[in-house]
Amino acid sequence: MKFLVCISKTPETTAKIGFTNDNKEFDTNGVQFIMNPYDEWYALVRALELKEKLGGEVVAINVGPASNDIIIRKALAIGADKAIRVNAEPESAFAVAKYISDHAKSENYDIIFTGKETIDYNGSEVPGMIAEFLDLPFISYASKLELEGSSASIERDIEGGVEGIKLDTPFVLSAAKGLAEQRIPNMRGIMMAKRKPLEVVEPAVVEEPVSIASFELPEKKEGVKMVDPENMEELVRLLHEEAKVI
C-alpha cells in the first residue's frame, strides 16, 4: 500500500496573533510554528499504523519554503519513509491542493490523508479540492478506518451521530480525532530522519482565483459577570439587555 500524508505548518496554539501589510498578511514575528495537530496526530499516525499492518510506504508532503523542513523532518522522525516539499508559499487552499494533486497524479497512492482542518484557518478546504483535482472519492472527518485489501471501512462524525462508509481505494480522507493515537518521535526516529530523503520540487505556476482582502481579530470578549443568586431581576435584565438571549 502507498499512502500520501499532507502536512501543514501552523502557529503554536498559544501564539499571539497579529497582522501586517494593511491587515493582509499574518505577522510571523515571534511566532513558534508546529506541525498541524490533525495532520500529525491522526492522519500521519493512522497511515503509519496501516503501513505497519499491511506493508507499503508512507510519504509526507508539504507546500512551503525551506524553513518548513524542520516540520517535515518531524514527520520523518515519527515514521514517514520519505518526504516531499513543494517549494512554494502556500498562498491559498486552492494553490496548495493543486500543487499536491499535481504530484499525486502520477504516483498511484492508495489513500491520500489530510487532517480535517488546519488550526489556523479552520477551512477544511484542501482535501476536498485535492479529491476534485484527482477525480477521487472524498471522505471527511473520519474517526475510524480499517482496510482489508483494497476495501476500506470508515466511520465519520456527523451531526448527532456516526456514519459508516465502505469503498475501495484510491480515495482522499480527512482525519478527525479518534482515528489514531498521538506518537512521540524517539531518539532513534530522530536520528534516522536525518538520513531519510526529503525531495524538493518546483511547482507549476498556479493562477490564483481569489485574493485576501484583509484579516481581522474577533472582538474582545468581556469578563464573566457574577450575579447574586437572590437577585433574579438583575439576571433577567442581563440576559435580556446584554446577552440578548431572552
CA-to-CA dists, residue 59 to 45, 48, 73, 85, 92, angstroms: 12, 10, 12, 11, 22
Query: Quick check: is 78 in a domain?
Result: yes
202 domain-assigned = yes
CATH label of the domain that carries residue 160: 3.40.50.620
- What is the model's pTM? 0.85
> Would 229 be classed as within a structural domain?
no
Q: Residue 48: what pLDDT?
A: 97
Terminal-residue alpha carbon distance, the chain = 56
Residue 135's domain comprises 2-220
226 within some domain: no
Q: Is residue 7 part of a domain?
A: yes
10-residue stretch averages of pLDDT, the chain, 246 residues long? 96 88 88 94 96 96 95 95 94 94 95 94 93 97 95 92 95 95 88 90 87 85 83 89 84
Domain count, the chain: 1
**Residue 246, in any domain of the structure:** no
Is residue 146 assigned to a domain? yes
Check residue 200 and give its pLDDT: 95
pLDDT at 195: 87
